[in-house]
Amino acid sequence: MTEQNIGRRRLLKSMSAGFAATVASPLVFTSRGYAQEFCNNPGDKDPIFGFNVPQTGTYAEEGLEQLKGYELAVKHINGEGDGGLMNTMKPMALKGNGILGRKLQYVTGDTQTNTDAARDGARRMIERDGAIMVTGCVTTGEAVAQQALCHELGVIYMSGLTHGNDTTGKDKRRYGFRHFFNGYQSGVAIAPILAEEYGRERRAYHLTADYNWGWTQEESIRDATEALGWETVKAVRTPLGIGDYSQYLTPVLNSGADVLILNHYGHDMVNSLPQAVQFGMRERMANGKQFEIIVPMFSELMAVGAGDAVKGIIGTQNWNWQLEDEGSKAFTNSYGAAYGEPPSQSAHTGYVQTLLYADAVERAGTFYPPEVIKALEDFEFDGMGNGPTLYRGSDHQCFKEVLAVRGNSNPTSRFDVLEVIGTTDREKVTYDHAIFGGELGPYEPNQC
């Protein structure tokens, strides 16, 4: 921070204070700004986390699941409940007595799956409630918007469900961290499974949601499948949220393709997949092969929403409660005991991100963001459900195993709609961060 900058801010503060004295009463202004050396320093008070998820609108269910994950994490960090992943995470600095000996508090907000509302919520948490960390989202738009804001205000942002490459690529930020996997990793992870299941001579037809996430996903899957020897017949862009995809599905039938890849997320996929099945694609033969549909990116709630159509469809997932490792079992147990149902990947992501941040603070010994960031960067840990994981310092993306899943053809309940059919090693899904460009920016907090 330069001299000139500090001077300017002081000047502004005194100016606005003077202004306030003339028009308003001086009691308005908190003296917080002078006492702290960084934004929302908890000082002697309890630290506050901001959980900002969609609670209304089309993604409300995913958001509310995430919120449950957050609330569970807070309990465990504060030493309530059975401790969950606190018992399995290695290394682990948290002691079950809060963070740095202080009890963790939290505030919540509704992003409405809208970037503006998400930023409003994050600002409220930071400016009014004094949140030291903000987390939560279900789309890449929300993630990028919030992490950019948090970087400007000097508060760390731990993203929730965001699958677009941009979050830790073109739009990455020093103050933003992503545990969730991305489109590139989906492509790499799904390719060997596809080769095994469907062979190396396939002709693929892409339907792609026409916005950033869809494009990056299509590109990643295309590269990965073409490397297998597949041919891409056509890639067609479809408008966001159109509902009825029939006019994009009919051309697929006689296009000479024998695989349909749906680069659709959330409700786009919930609509397009059953419609594709209704067009008889699953029963169809093309080029002497069984016609197949692939949905590269899955979530449990999306699978439930698509109903029977999801049976037998292959895709990828960040995490699934049916995994057999210690961490996954521990989390499923304590989540199940608390809420009476198995956790979704949305809940898992929220939980893990909270724990990772808290642990980083404990290790850094301070809430001062640059120190916490350094503690998270290149942090290597295990026992959180996806095997050994690296929080890479150069782009703040987590590297861990990626799951390939298939729609369960005979689910016993709405919780096992997806079954894990394979994992792809961390080494295979690791890539050079330079391929996506972008710049993390400085460590020093900007303003508050």
Partner 1 sequence: MNAFLAQLLNGLDKGGAYALIALGLTLVFGTLGVVNFAHGALFMLGCFCAVTFRYFLTIETVTIDPTKLSPWGAPVEVRTPLVQSWLGDWGAILVDYSVPISVLFTVPVMLVIGIAMERGLIKHFYKRSHAEQILVTFGLAIVLQEIVKSFFGANPKPQPIPADLRMAADVGAWFGMEAQKLTYPLWRLIYLLFSLGVIGAVFAFMRYTTFGMVVRAGMADRETVGLLGIDIDKRFTIVFGMAAVVAGVAGAMYTPLLPPNYHIGMDFLVLSFVVVVVGGMGSLPGAVVAGFLLGVLQSFASMNEVKSIIPGIDQIIIYLVAIVILLVRPRGLMGRSGVMES
Partner 2 sequence: MFSLSRKDVTTLAIFSVIVLTMPIWLSPLGAAYPGLMQKFAIYAIFAIGFNILFGLTGYLSFGHAAFLGVGSYTAVWSFKLLSMDMIPALIFAVIFAGIFALFIGYFSLRRSGIYFSILTLAFAQMSYSLAYSVLTPITNGETGLLIARDDPRAIDALLGVNQTTSGMPTPSLLGFDLGGYGGFYICAVVSIAAFFLSQKIFASPFGMALRGIKSNQTRMKYTGFDTKPYMLTAFVISGMFAGLAGGLLAVTDPIAGAERMKWTESGNIVLMTILGGVGTLVGPVVGAWLIKYFENIFSAINVNMLNAFFDFLPEGMQAVMVTILSKFVGEGWHLTLGLMFVVIVVFLPGGLVEGTERLMRWLRRRSKERDEPTGQVASGRTGNE
> Residues 58, 87, 212, 255: which binds partner 2 (CB under 8 A)?
212
What is the rounded distance in angstroms from the CA atom of residue 357 to the CA atom of residue 372? 8
Is residue 306 close enough to count as binding partner 1 by CB under 8 A?
yes
Q: Which stretch binds partner 2 (CB under 8 A): 93-101, 147-155, 281-289, 355-363?
A: 147-155
> Residues 195, 228, 253, 420: which binds partner 1 (CB under 8 A)?
253
Rounded to the nearest whole angstrom, what is the least distance from the CB of residue 13 to partner 2 in the complex? 8
> Please, is 427 exposed, middle or buried when counting C-beta atoms within 10 Å of its C-beta (0-12, 13-18, 19+)?
exposed
From residue 165 to residue 204, the character string flagging contacts with partner 2 as x (rule: CB under 8 A) and all else as - is: -x----x---------------------------------
Q: Among partner 2, partner 1, none, what does residue 271 contact (CB within 5–8 Å per kind)?
A: partner 1
**Residue 223 main-chain phi, psi, to 5 deg:** -60, -45
In whole angstroms, how far apart are CA 18 and each of 113, 128, 320? 39, 22, 57
DSSP 115: H
Is residue 420 close enough to count as binding partner 1 by CB under 8 A?
no
Q: What is the dihedral of CA 363, 368, 373, 379, to 10 degrees?
A: 0
Q: Is 121 left (phi over 0), alpha (psi -120 to 50) or beta?
A: alpha
Q: Which stretch binds partner 1 (CB under 8 A): 1-9, 32-40, 231-239, 352-360?
A: 231-239
The answer to whether 81 and 334 have CB atoms below 8 angstroms apart is: yes
Is residue 251 close enough to count as binding partner 1 by CB under 8 A?
yes
Helix (H) or strand (E) holding 293: strand 292-297
Is residue 20 close enough to count as binding partner 2 by CB under 8 A?
yes
Q: Among partner 1, partner 2, none, what does residue 58 contact (CB within 5–8 Å per kind)?
A: partner 1
The answer to whether 421 and 406 have CB atoms below 8 angstroms apart is: yes
Number of residues in contact with partner 1, rule: CB under 8 A? 49
Q: Which stretch binds partner 2 (CB under 8 A): 122-130, 270-278, 279-287, 417-425?
A: 122-130
Q: Which of residues 228-247 bind partner 2 (CB under 8 A)?
A: 237, 239-240
Cite the DSSP H helix spans in 78-211: 115-123, 140-153, 183-198
Closest C-alpha among 293, 327, 307, 328 to residue 89: 327
Give residue 341's identity as a one-letter amino acid code: E
Q: Which of residues 326-385 bind partner 1 (CB under 8 A)?
A: 329, 332-337, 340, 342
> Residues 7, 91, 256, 307: which binds partner 1 (CB under 8 A)?
307
368: helix, coil or strand? coil
Question: How many other C-beta atoms lie within 10 A of the C-beta of residue 102?
Answer: 16
> Residues 55, 182, 317, 424: which binds partner 2 (CB under 8 A)?
55
Instruction: Summarize as ranges the residues that interact with partner 1 (CB under 8 A).
Output: 56-61, 64, 210, 234, 236-239, 241, 243-244, 246-248, 250-251, 253-254, 267, 270-271, 274-275, 278-280, 283, 301, 304-309, 321, 329, 332-337, 340, 342
